[in-house]
Amino acid sequence: MDMGGMDMGGMDMGGVSNPRAEGMPVLPEGQPLRELPRLANQSGEVGLFRANLAAEPAIVRFAEGLDTRVLLYNGGNPVIEAREGDRIEIDFRNGIPDQPTTVHWHGMPVPADQDGNPTVPVAAGASQRYVFDLPQGSAAPYWFHPHPHGHTAEQVYRGLAGIFLVKPEKDPIPAEYGDTILMFTDLRLAADGSIPENGMMDRMNGRVGDHVLVNGEKNPVLAVAKGEKRRLRLFNATNARFLRLNFENASMVLIGTDGGLLEAPVALDELLLAPAERAELVVAFDQPGPAKLTTLDYERGWMGPGKPEEAGMTLLTANISDSPAPAMPALPAKLREIAPLPAPVKSRRFVLSESMSGMSMAFQINGASFDMNRIDEVMKRGDVELWEIVNKADMDHPFHVHGTQFQIVEYEKDGKVTKAPYRSWKDTVNVVSGQTVRFLIRQDMPGQRMYHCHILEHEDLGMMGLLDVQA
Ligand code: C2O
Ligand code: CU
Ligand code: CU
């Protein structure tokens, strides 16, 4: 990237990899892993989940003696847990004093007008009821977050995000493995405990904070017994941080992706979790501990000096007790069937690019920035299409589509085609700089859907398009 003449916002160019807050407070480490609060079901009816949800300012104490003003849902990052077939009714109130917001149900098969699109904002102080049904076969680890035009990145880095677990009728993963949520967020904290606003480097690269938190804590401790297997559900709820993960002293098996379980487990040495992606793992703690979930170096493309995704950060420590765990049932060799999507009736191409526009960068799809009043693509409901995402930019962009899950077919880079190693359901796929990703996609509900880069600063800058799905 040619940085010629660009205003770097007065930042120190000498070695600092990303705009760190000065006099960065120290966060306590080593507390027991916290469970995220559950959003209680207020309905007494079987098959109906009803609750109130409010986005509101709150004060959190991340560091000793410092109050941090954040935005939270009902005072936290709640987990909604429901079952396939359930009806969901969420009475939402926007308690953010000065901004519109929405609740977007990331990855979920929700009707377009209930999906918290930027085209359906909830004004400050206003309320909105979101109603949708969870179809059979939709069990997966989803999440939800704000999606107001131009304010998504800010509202997420100030704290707004939650988990939406849809459980199946019958779960093939042994209950003995438990079900542990690990929600990754990325915090930048100034010396006075405040959360600094995005600067120019943040808007270009996506905001990368100073502290990766798991369920709101830095490097918390998970207590396990020797020989224990744990089901871990990982959520990358950061604005822009690529998490290339390694579990030292433990073995990882991938059992699921954004859209639910794989057909069969896949052993992993490491896992790349791009912004908005989820992964379900079974981790076996057979070695003497501790076992650490750490980051590896990742080259995702970065404008300016240094790079943000440092290796060697410990995100979570599993303390392994010597007393052995009761015998664990084996993970089944077959988890479920994923029917392949049939041959596409049409293909469509999306070119991701970056360019200078005045003093800042423009991040575009097919040469255009997002315009709420322009439909970019028209697709027929029920049609299977082949989408080709071509990354002509200098950095990775995680591409996300609303309202459905897709199946990756292949990746192409420098003329070399690599088939997807296994079938899975995804709603976000990282497209490496210079790479082309092809996937099969179908939309089953009519209405307007967004597709965009899930580096939230890029989305806010317009790396997003509108898809009209016609009945
Ligand atoms: Cu996770 Cu358009 O969103
Ligand atoms: Cu989404
Ligand atoms: Cu991007």
- The ranges assigned to domains in the chain are 48-167, 175-324, 346-470
The pLDDT, as a whole number, for residue 203 is: 92
Q: State the Cα–Cα distance between residues 159 and 441, nearest whole angstrom.
A: 31
Neighbours of 434 (CB within 10 A): 15
**Fold adopted by 48-167:** Immunoglobulin-like (2.60.40)
Measured in Å, residue 313 CA sits from the centre of ligand 2 at 28
Contact residues for 410 (Cβ-Cβ < 8 A; gap 6+): 417, 418, 419, 420, 437, 438
Q: State the Cα–Cα distance between residues 356 and 376, nearest whole angstrom.
A: 22
Q: Is 218 in the pocket of ligand 1 (CB under 6 A)?
A: no
In CATH terms, are 48-167 and 346-470 the same topology?
yes
Neighbours of 448 (CB within 10 A): 18
Measured in Å, residue 454 CA sits from the centre of ligand 3 at 6
- Compute the Cα dihedral for 281, 287, 292, 297 and give only its sign: negative
Question: Quick check: 384 and 228 in contact, CB under 8 A?
Answer: no
pTM of the model: 0.95
Amino acid in the structure at residue 201 = M
**Alpha-carbon distance values, 12 to 7, 20, 210, 285, 425 (Å):** 12, 10, 16, 43, 42
Residue whose Cα lies nearest atom 1 of ligand 1: it is 106
* Element of type H or E holding 317: strand 314-324
Closest CA to 97 of 62, 61, 54: 54
Ligand nearest to the CA of 236: 1
Q: Is 276 in the pocket of ligand 1 (CB under 6 A)?
A: yes
β-sheet with 314-324: strand ranges across: 221-226, 314-324, 291-295, 243-248, 271-273
How deeply is 365 buried, as exposed, middle or buried, from its count of CB atoms within 10 A (0-12, 13-18, 19+)? buried
Measured in Å, residue 372 CA sits from the centre of ligand 3 at 19
The pLDDT, as a whole number, for residue 359 is: 72
- Dihedral, CA atoms, 44, 47, 48, 53, nearest 10 degrees? 110
CATH for 346-470, options being 3.10.580.10, 3.40.1280.10, 3.40.50.1370, 2.60.40.420: 2.60.40.420
Q: State the Cα–Cα distance between residues 305 and 241, nearest whole angstrom.
A: 16
The complex's ipTM works out to: 0.99
Measured in Å, residue 449 CA sits from the centre of ligand 1 at 10
pLDDT for 59-118, tens place per residue?
A: 999 999 999 999 999 999 999 999 999 999 999 999 999 999 999 999 999 999 999 999
Q: Could you tell me the CATH superfamily of domain 175-324? A: Cupredoxins -  blue copper proteins (2.60.40.420)
Q: Is 449 in the pocket of ligand 1 (CB under 6 A)?
A: no
Neighbours of 52 (CB within 10 A): 14
The pLDDT, as a whole number, for residue 2 is: 36
Q: Is 104 in the pocket of ligand 1 (CB under 6 A)?
A: yes
Token reading at 343:
């041959």
* Element of type H or E holding 460: helix 456-461
- Residue 382: phi and psi, rounded to 5, are 90, -15
Q: What angle do CA 353, 385, 149 make, to 5 degrees?
A: 45
Query: For every one of its 471 residues, what pLDDT tens digit does the chain have, with 9 covering 90 and above?
Result: 333 333 333 333 333 344 555 578 999 999 999 999 999 999 999 999 999 999 999 999 999 999 999 999 999 999 999 999 999 999 999 999 999 999 999 999 999 999 999 999 999 999 999 999 999 999 999 999 999 999 999 999 999 999 999 999 999 999 999 999 999 999 999 999 999 999 989 999 999 999 999 999 999 999 999 999 999 999 999 999 999 999 999 999 999 999 999 999 999 999 999 999 999 999 999 988 899 999 999 999 988 776 777 789 999 999 999 888 889 999 999 999 999 999 999 999 999 999 887 777 889 999 999 999 999 999 999 999 999 999 999 999 999 999 999 999 999 999 999 999 999 999 999 999 999 999 999 999 999 999 999 999 999 999 999 999 999
pLDDT for 294-350, tens place per residue?
A: 999 999 998 877 677 778 999 999 999 988 888 999 999 999 999 999 999 999 999
Residue 249, SS3? coil
Q: Is 400 in the pocket of ligand 1 (CB under 6 A)?
A: yes
Measured in Å, residue 460 CA sits from the centre of ligand 3 at 10
Contact residues for 62 (Cβ-Cβ < 8 A; gap 6+): 25, 27, 68, 187, 189, 193, 211
Q: What angle do CA 157, 159, 162 make, to 5 degrees?
A: 115
Amino acid in the structure at residue 410 = E
